[in-house]
Chain A
Amino acid sequence: MSENSNERPKHWLARRLLWADNPKTPDRIFYILCVLCVGLVASDVIHHRHAYSALEETWAFYCIYGFVAFAFVVQAGRVLRLILKRDEDYYDR
């Protein structure tokens, strides 16, 4: 195992994935997602979906729920960590 992180990968597939290291990539992903999100919200305007409940029928329900659920899980995790985090050797002491 070598520790040189700057060398260009030899593997063709790895070179294909190098975009992940590009400093502009996070911004690009963000803007692509913005466009996708706008498109998906817009789809609720042009298409009325078959729903089993009034909540499901709400405009952009899945969009809002997906965002909020993800953010809630992560932020709740931060709180949970404050309570449950212990040193790695906790059970070995």
Chain B
Amino acid sequence: MIDSLVNGSIPPGLIFIIGGLLVPLLPQMARAPYMLALPALGAFILLSVPNGNHLQFELFGLTLTAFRLDPLSKIFGIIFHLSIFLGVLYALHVRDTVQQVAGLVYPGAAIGGLFAGDLITLFVFWELMAISSVFLIWASRNEGAYRAGLRYMIVHITSGVILLGGVIVHYSETGSIAFEKLGLVSFGTLLIFIAFGIKSAFPLLHNWLQDAYPRGTVTSTLVLSIFTTKLAVYGLARAFPGTELLIYIGATMTAFPVFFAVIENDLRKVLCYSLNNQVGFMVAAIGIGTPLALNGATGYAFANIIFEGLLFMTMGAVLLRAGTTKASELGGLYKSMPYSTVFCIIGAMSISAFPLFSGFVFKGMILQEAAHYHFWAWLVLLFASAGVLEHSGIKIPFFGFFGLHDSGKRVEEAPWNMLIAMAICAVLSIWIGVQPQYMYTILPYQAEYTAYTFDHVITQLQLLVFAIFAFVVLMRSNLYPPEIRAINLDTDWFYRRLAPALVRRIGRGIAALQTNVMDGVERQVQHLIGTVYRHHGPQGALARTWPAGSTVLWVAILLGAMLIVVYFFGP
């Protein structure tokens, strides 16, 4: 048994998929230790199995690789396993079987996709991820979540179909299904690129994220926030490193969500915009494509899962205790949730990339490479770094726990399991920030980088401290927009309002046309029937009973006419 674990004959993803499906068979008491043990087992396999292609088999003449382990997949694998453990720990008080099962099957599918060595295996897990994750949205069990889940599933199944189309075209062009560096070189790879783009929430393809994730439960939004976008980032790093288009896409991703985050009232939705912006940094770094930039993207994904997860955890705790994450209804929660407050501040400082926190030691790599190779992208990323400070560094902790006014809400601190999960994330965020050299050893590419130079620290502090100063000045001048109860339109308006309105209008047009055509046909038929009736009806001229004298007269006229015709024209 141990041998089969360490020789790579059991793919780690299946442990969570099968393990998750077995959860309902267990009594509630046994589920917590069981679910915590699964990521430990998966991590044991991951760390024991040597790098290489394992579990290769033939199917319809194609060689599939279910377990490809190399430095790139390994670092993502480590953080995925840690995330599952933290997710289970954070949700340990939840007794909902649907969330327990989906909370394991969905990450299991993500891990399956992560270790896929070929595009067919990737596609299978890609779709399983879409299907299993929607249950985490539906777990909220309300109409809004149900509808958002349907929209989410349509988007993600579409992404899978596009991926499959891309794989088929790519196979027909090259005869290969290997999941390796593809580059944007053909129609097939373009489709694969778009499929990855949907999952990583490229600009204009992004709104499924802000639409669906905030509708998850207190605990499920955390799980959702980790895997889908990061698997897509991994896919881009694997298949499209150095693709210049990604620099522009990534830079746009970092910049535009910050404007939406400023005016968003729901703090969990603010974090979704933040997630979008953070993935943008990774995408831009993949586009730059140098070994250091790719290390930056990978390491930033690793660190981001922890500190962004921490922020989602703190907002989940607020939702659980205060019943809302709307900034307009919060304030003063730090008095009753002080641990969560401190953890949130640590998460905020990490995501803002303050020195001594984890964001700093990886974002610096990305910014340095952008400054070196792509001036405009660097300017945008720097701008977005100030934006991150605004929405995640200040807005989340300030409006979540302090606020301009005390809301008067006095609640209990988060449950112990949530606090432990948050504490682990907080400690890791600081530890990685203080001792980055340990993380640097597991980065996938050979590249030298020193995080703590005078230049790096001072320039980052200059950017952040002056940005905070701007916040204080705007606050003192009453120029900071107040938090108000409202929503803001985003691209989901096109398919939630515009498309249904167009369909309704087109439907009404078709109905009107149908009515007009049918009316016209009816009128013509009635006219025809009327004409026939007029001539052949009881009063019609052709149906009238003629007198015998006039009939004989008409017969005589016809015969006379016939006689004349035959006389002149006959043989």
Q: Give the interface of A toward B (CB within 8 A).
A: 1-5, 7, 9, 11, 13-14, 16-18, 20-21, 26, 29-30, 33-34, 36-37, 40-41, 43-44, 47, 49-53, 55-56, 60, 62-71, 73-78, 80-81, 84-88, 90-92
Cα distance, A85 to B375, chains bound together (Å): 34
Give every chain A residue within 8 A of B455 (Cβ-Cβ).
49-50
Least Cβ–Cβ distance between A29 and chain B, in angstroms? 6
Question: Please, could you name 20 A-B residue pairs with CB atoms under 8 Å apart, sorted by A?
Answer: A1-B322, A3-B408, A29-B472, A34-B469, A43-B458, A44-B462, A49-B455, A50-B455, A52-B375, A62-B463, A63-B466, A65-B383, A66-B464, A69-B382, A70-B390, A73-B262, A80-B259, A81-B481, A85-B486, A88-B487
**Closest B residue, CB atoms, query A43:** B458
Q: A30-B472, A33-B465, A56-B371 are in contact. Are A13 and B386 (CB under 8 A)?
A: no
**Interface window among B2-10, B65-73, B200-208, B337-345:** B337-345
**Interface window among B45-53, B218-226, B328-336:** B328-336
Q: A49-B459, A69-B386 are in contact. Are A77 and B481 (CB under 8 A)?
A: yes
Least Cβ–Cβ distance between A38 and chain B, in angstroms? 11
B461 within 8 A of A: yes
Give every chain A residue within 8 A of B468 (Cβ-Cβ).
33, 70
Q: A3-B409, A81-B481 are in contact. Are A9 and B472 (CB under 8 A)?
A: no
Interface contact A14-B335, CB-CB below 8 Å: yes
Interface contact B408-A66, CB-CB below 8 Å: no
The 6 A-B pairs at the shortest CB distance, nearest first, are namely A77-B262, A13-B338, A69-B386, A66-B466, A62-B462, A70-B470
**Closest A residue, CB atoms, query B258:** A73
B263 within 8 A of A: yes
Cβ-defined partner of A74 (8 Å) among B402, B463, B469, B474: B474
**Closest A residue, CB atoms, query B341:** A17
The A-contacting residues of B in range 325-364, CB under 8 angstroms, are 332, 334-336, 338-339, 341-342
Interface contact B470-A86, CB-CB below 8 Å: no
Least Cβ–Cβ distance between A78 and chain B, in angstroms? 5
Contact-residue bracket for chain B: 35 or more
B471 within 8 A of A: yes
Cα distance, A37 to B472, chains bound together (Å): 13
Cα distance, A87 to B487, chains bound together (Å): 6
Give every chain B residue within 8 A of A85 (Cβ-Cβ).
263, 484, 486-488
Cα distance, A24 to B462, chains bound together (Å): 25
Cα distance, A36 to B322, chains bound together (Å): 36
Q: A74-B390, A80-B488 are in contact. Are A40 and B462 (CB under 8 A)?
A: yes
Cα distance, A4 to B489, chains bound together (Å): 36
Least Cβ–Cβ distance between A89 and chain B, in angstroms? 9
Q: Give the interface of B toward A (CB within 8 A).
A: 144, 258-260, 262-263, 322, 332, 334-336, 338-339, 341-342, 371-372, 375, 378-379, 382-383, 386-387, 389-390, 402, 406-411, 413, 454-455, 458-476, 479-481, 484-490, 496-497
Cα distance, A71 to B475, chains bound together (Å): 11
Interface contact A90-B487, CB-CB below 8 Å: yes
Give every chain B residue within 8 A of A91 (Cβ-Cβ).
487, 496-497
Q: A20-B402, A40-B465, A66-B464 are in contact. Are A80 and B472 (CB under 8 A)?
A: no
Q: A30-B476, A85-B263, A85-B488 are in contact. Are A70 and B386 (CB under 8 A)?
A: yes
Cα distance, A64 to B211, chains bound together (Å): 35
Cα distance, A5 to B466, chains bound together (Å): 33
Interface contact A62-B259, CB-CB below 8 Å: no
Interface contact B334-A74, CB-CB below 8 Å: no
**Closest B residue, CB atoms, query A13:** B338
Given contacts A73-B383, A77-B259, 19 further A-B contacts (CB under 8 A): A1-B410, A5-B408, A9-B336, A9-B338, A17-B334, A17-B338, A30-B472, A33-B469, A41-B462, A49-B455, A53-B375, A55-B379, A62-B460, A66-B462, A77-B263, A77-B481, A80-B488, A86-B487, A88-B486
